Amino acid sequence: MRLNSKGQVTIPVEIREKYGLHPGDEVDVVEVGNTLQIIRRESSATRGGRAAHRLRGTATTRMTTDEIMGLLRDQ
């Protein structure tokens, strides 16, 4: 890996897949002895959690859950 002029590195796709890292995930770089380690932030929300947080409160309808499920089931 090579450090770019902005101090960024690209984590190879094989490593991202192996450790389940996705765009938007938060990581920390920590110094351990003479090495640097990339650590996923445990308190970081999942992609689904971030999406739900962004969408919460944005609905423009006043339908009940049963009414929505009826639409989805074509009733």
Q: How far apart are CA 71 and CA 75, in angstroms?
A: 6
Structural domains of the chain sorted by starting position, each given as residue range(s) with its CATH number in brackets: 1-45 (2.10.260)
pLDDT tens across the length of the chain (75 residues): 889 999 999 999 999 999 888 888 888 999 999 999 999 887 666 778 888 888 888 988 888 889 989 989 976
The dihedral sign for the CA sequence 49, 7, 16, 38 = negative
Question: How far apart are alpha carbons 69 and 52 in whole angstroms?
Answer: 19
1 close to 12: Cβ distance less than 8 angstroms: yes
19-40, pLDDT tens digit by residue?
888 888 888 999 999 999 999 8
Q: Which two tokens stand for residue 64?
A: 């009940």
